[in-house]
């Protein structure tokens, strides 16, 4: 499958692959067709997290280059991070040299007035660390936005400006990478959906990293991620289900937040913040989401296993083969799929 | 953007006041009306992000608010700089949460003494439009989407009499404020029904440095203290549900607020 190598100018013209698990059918459509595919009372749940400039180029005290990719902030002022050696996104992650071994207490310097220290090193891999920074609050965020760049991968054409990794409704910068399922949702489309009676609600989920370059570490993804679900969203989900309507998670991050919250509360969606380590798979019984709007995911991605919670693997493979044959594009600026009956 | 430090929450007003916990972003907040608004809104319990170009003046203003128990964060940025706006919006939401109230107060007169249009450099007009119109558009474009998703929010555009009346010498500034008024009305029309409102406010003639730059020989005794205007605007924005979406409001017509008990 070919990746989209740059954002396209009109998201409504991007392709949308419809996958109907109950009918066992697939069909071609476009993002602009979404209003005709959803009905009054159906609920779209969006992830309103903005994307951090999570890639930082730094040096150790010895002057060795290291790239830090921030994954999230599980505790205030303490960031989990993945380390790479010399180089940047131009090289494929699997081709990147290993970072220098950093022990607890080691420093990484990003600029003369911005640095971090290793607070802990993961038992799983010395590339996974927790970092504390020498600034907090507005001072920290100003420094991060000055020094950091969006995380990106080698299949893209050029360095990404910050605005290309935000959705049209993003707010708090919790995500390491763009929660890309919502990227095509322009406001003209969202307001048209609302006009037709489709409900729209939000939650915040800290989307993590999609690839480390190391199959052993990739198997650990997604790591635990934090989420925050507003009361209004809980009520909207309840109202949709009570009326016999469908709840559509926009993206795997929204699915993790909804199902993760329910898994922690005896199957009930509960308002508030939390951290989920939920991993979805084919045998998982979905409690909240009836369908998902997501990208075009290859079987090699961890997202693919997750999608098996929504549709049988055979149908997903058939859909993927069709997508590949007919030129759908994958990855964060690629085309979309809607798995919904 | 430049640095600042976060507030000490232990002495905050965050739990009380008509604007308790409301997340506010104010541009042009290091002096004049913007600073007075930051002080008044923080005094009423809002969590305020203050934006201006001069980091030292801005931090001093934010520090003074924190010392008196308010929640204020300083983010130094030039609103006319395209590359500054996403970092600004991201950092603001990181420190105070999704923005509930966005006040576009920063503006520039352009060249002073105020030149006739025939004597105005094209580059000066472009800079005035960048700061007074395009910057507010960019910032609202980022922030109003999350407001619409959450079904609430208020955009406030600080305007001027010069937006409505044409005065010799006020060309660049006046046409930028007329455009800002129209930007405000268009946000209102497009966001109608989402719960997000947009208004413009003409604060009137105030005793500020901008006024002195524009009209150096004005008698300060005839000018209003910006703190008085700030108190009236604070009373207005404390009840966004009562605001007519798309309105252009003259501050002189606003009720003088009773001191909150």
DSSP-assigned letters across all residues of A232-296: HHHHHHHHHHHTT--EEEESHHHHHHHHHHHHHTTT----EEEEE-----TT---SS-SEEEEE-
Smallest Cβ–Cβ distance between A138 and the set B73, B99, B145 belongs to B73
Say if CB A283 and CB A302 are below 8 A apart: no
* B94 interaction partners in chain A (CB closer than 8 Å): 141, 172-173
Judged by CB atoms closer than 8 Å, whether chains meet at B1 and A145 is answered as yes
* Structure ipTM: 0.96
Phi and psi at residue A273, to the nearest 5°: -100, 155
Q: pLDDT at residue B7 above 70? A: no
Structure confidence at residue B205 (pLDDT)? 93
Calpha distance A140→A112 (Å, rounded)? 14
| Cβ(A67)–Cβ(A58) below 8 Å | yes
Kindly name the residue from B77, B142, B173, B197 that is annotated as catalytic.
B173
Dist CA A189 CA A191 (whole Å): 5
Q: What is the pLDDT of residues B202-241, one digit of tens each?
A: 999 999 999 999 999 999 999 999 999 999 999 999 999 9
How many A/B residue pairs have CB atoms within 8 Å?
95
Task: Match 């992830």 to its residue by tokens.
Answer: A47
Mutating which of B149, B194, B195 best tests the A interface, going by the most A Cβ atoms within 10 A? B149
> Minimal Cα–Cα distance from B137 to chain A, Å?
14
**Is pLDDT at B5 greater than 60 in this prediction?**
no
Listed in sequence order, the residues at least 6 apart from A323 whose beta carbon sits closer than 8 Å to its beta carbon are A1, A17, A296, A335, A337
pLDDT digits (tens, 9 = 90+) for B55-89: 999 999 999 999 999 999 999 999 999 999 999 99
At A78, phi and psi to the nearest 5? Answer: -125, 115
**pLDDT the model gives residue B257:** 86
Of B51, B172, B149, B162, nearest to B103 by C-alpha is B51
Question: B86 catalytic, yes or no?
Answer: no
pLDDT at res. A298: 79
User: For residue range A214-273, what is the model confidence (pLDDT) as tens digits?
Assistant: 988 988 888 899 999 999 999 999 999 999 999 999 999 999 999 999 999 999 999 999
Query: CA–CA separation, A58 vs A66, rounded Å?
Result: 5
Contact B95 A141 (CB under 8 A): yes
Nearest residue in A to B99, CA atom: A171
Q: Which residue has the tokens 């395209």?
A: B82
- Sheet of B101-104, strand order: B71-76, B47-52, B23-27, B101-104, B153-158, B196-202, B248-250
- Alpha carbon of A59 to those of A67, A114, A115, B178: distances in Å? 8, 11, 9, 50
Q: Which residues of B touch A50 (CB under 8 A)?
A: 89-90, 93
C-alpha closest to that of B90 among A117, A202, A185, A161: A161
Chain A CB contacts of B82 below 8 Å:
none
**Structure token digits, residue B116:** 């006739």
> Any idea what the Cα angle at residue A324 is, between residues A321 and A325, rounded to 5°?
85
Q: Which has the minimum average pLDDT: A85-99, A144-158, A215-229, B176-190?
A: A215-229
Q: Are strands B101-104 and B153-158 parallel, antiparallel or unpaired?
A: parallel
- Summarize the confidence of residues A162-186 as an average pLDDT: 98
Q: In whole angstroms, how large is the CA radius of gyration of chain B?
A: 17
Closest alpha carbon within chain A to B145? A169
Cα–Cα distance, A243 to A237 (Å, whole number): 10
**A299: confidence class by pLDDT, cuts 50, 70, 90:** confident
Query: Tokens 């009137």, residue?
Result: B204
Give yes or no for a contact between B62 and B2, defined as CB atoms under 8 angstroms apart: no
Q: Which two tokens stand for residue B55?
A: 């980091």
CB atoms within 10 A of CB B85: 25
Question: B18 falls in which pLDDT band (50, 70, 90)?
Answer: confident
**Chain B residue at shortest CA distance from A113:** B3
- Pairing label, strands A225-229, A199-205: antiparallel
The two most distant CA atoms of chain A are separated, in Å, by 63
Give chain A's contact residues with B (Cβ, < 8 Å): 46, 48, 50, 52-53, 113, 135-139, 141-146, 162-163, 166-173, 187, 190-191, 200, 202, 230, 232
Among A46, A115, A142, the strongest candidate for a mutation testing the B interface, having the largest count of B CBs within 10 A, is: A142
Angle at CA of residue B108, ends B61 and B40, nearest 5°: 30
B178 or A217: which carries more pLDDT confidence? Answer: B178
Q: Shortest Cα distance from A314 to chain B (angstroms)?
A: 36
Distance CA A208, CA A338 (A): 22
**Residue B35 exposed, middle or buried by CB count within 10 Å (0-12, 13-18, 19+):** buried
Over residues A169-177, mean pLDDT: 97
SS (H, E, C) A168-196: CCCCCEEECCCCHHHCCCCHHHHHHHHHC
**Which of chain A's residues have a Cβ under 8 Å away from the Cβ of B150?**
48, 202, 230, 232
């Amino acid at each position: 499958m070919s990746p989209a190598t740059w954002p396209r100018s009109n998201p409504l013209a991007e392709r949308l692959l419809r996958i109907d698990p109950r009918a066992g059918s697939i069909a071609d459509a476009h993002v602009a067709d979404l209003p005709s595919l959803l009905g009054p009372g159906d609920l779209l749940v969006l992830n309103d997290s903005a994307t951090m400039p999570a890639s930082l180029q730094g040096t150790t005290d010895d002057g060795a280059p290291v790239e830090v990719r921030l994954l999230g902030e599980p505790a205030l002022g303490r960031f989990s991070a993945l380390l790479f050696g010399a180089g940047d996104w131009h090289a494929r992650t699997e081709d990147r040299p290993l970072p220098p071994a950093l022990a607890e207490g080691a420093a990484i310097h990003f600029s003369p007035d911005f640095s971090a220290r290793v607070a802990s090193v993961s038992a799983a891999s010395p590339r996974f660390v927790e970092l504390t920074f020498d600034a907090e609050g507005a001072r920290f965020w100003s420094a991060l936005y000055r020094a950091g760049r969006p995380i990106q991968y080698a299949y893209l054409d050029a360095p990404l400006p910050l605005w290309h990794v935000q959705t049209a409704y993003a707010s708090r910068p919790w995500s390491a990478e763009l929660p890309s399922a919502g990227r095509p949702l322009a406001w003209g489309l969202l307001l048209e959906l609302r006009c037709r009676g489709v409900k729209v609600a939000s939650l915040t989920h800290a989307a993590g990293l999609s690839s480390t370059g190391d199959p052993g570490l990739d198997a650990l993804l997604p790591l635990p991620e934090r989420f925050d679900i507003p009361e209004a969203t809980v009520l909207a989900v309840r109202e949709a289900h009570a009326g016999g309507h469908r709840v559509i998670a926009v993206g795997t991050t929204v699915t993790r937040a909804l199902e993760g919250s329910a898994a922690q509360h005896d199957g009930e969606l509960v308002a508030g913040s939390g951290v989920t380590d939920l991993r979805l798979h084919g045998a998982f019984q979905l409690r909240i989401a009836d369908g998902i709007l997501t990208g075009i995911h290859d079987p090699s991605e961890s997202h693919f296993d997750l999608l098996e919670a929504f549709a049988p693997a055979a149908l997903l493979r058939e859909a993927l083969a069709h997508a590949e044959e007919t030129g759908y594009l994958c990855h964060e600026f690629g085309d979309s799929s809607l798995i919904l009956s | 953007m430049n640095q600042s430090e976060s507030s000490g929450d232990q002495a905050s007003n965050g739990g009380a006041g008509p604007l308790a916990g409301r997340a506010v972003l104010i541009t042009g907040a290091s002096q004049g009306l913007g600073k007075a608004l930051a002080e008044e809104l923080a005094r009423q319990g809002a969590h305020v992000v203050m934006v201006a170009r001069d980091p030292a003046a801005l931090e001093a203003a934010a520090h003074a608010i924190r010392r008196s128990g308010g929640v204020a964060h300083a983010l130094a940025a030039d609103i006319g700089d395209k590359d500054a706006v996403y970092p600004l919006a991201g950092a603001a939401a990181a420190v105070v949460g999704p923005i509930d109230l966005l006040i576009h107060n920063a503006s520039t007169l352009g060249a002073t003494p105020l030149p006739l249009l025939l004597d105005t450099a094209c580059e000066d007009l472009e800079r005035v439009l960048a700061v007074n119109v395009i910057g507010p558009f960019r910032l609202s474009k980022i922030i109003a989407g999350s407001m619409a998703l959450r079904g609430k929010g208020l955009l406030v555009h600080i305007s001027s009499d010069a937006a409505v009346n044409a005065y010799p010498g006020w060309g660049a500034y006046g046409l930028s404020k007329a455009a800002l008024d129209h930007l405000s009305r268009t946000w209102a029309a497009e966001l109608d029904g989402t719960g997000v409102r947009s208004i413009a406010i003409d604060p009137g003639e105030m005793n500020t440095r901008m006024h002195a730059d524009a009209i150096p020989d004005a008698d300060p005794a005839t000018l209003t203290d910006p703190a008085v205007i700030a108190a009236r605007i604070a009373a207005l924005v404390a009840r966004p549900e009562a605001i007519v979406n798309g309105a252009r409001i003259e501050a002189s017509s606003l009720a003088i607020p009773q001191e909150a008990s």
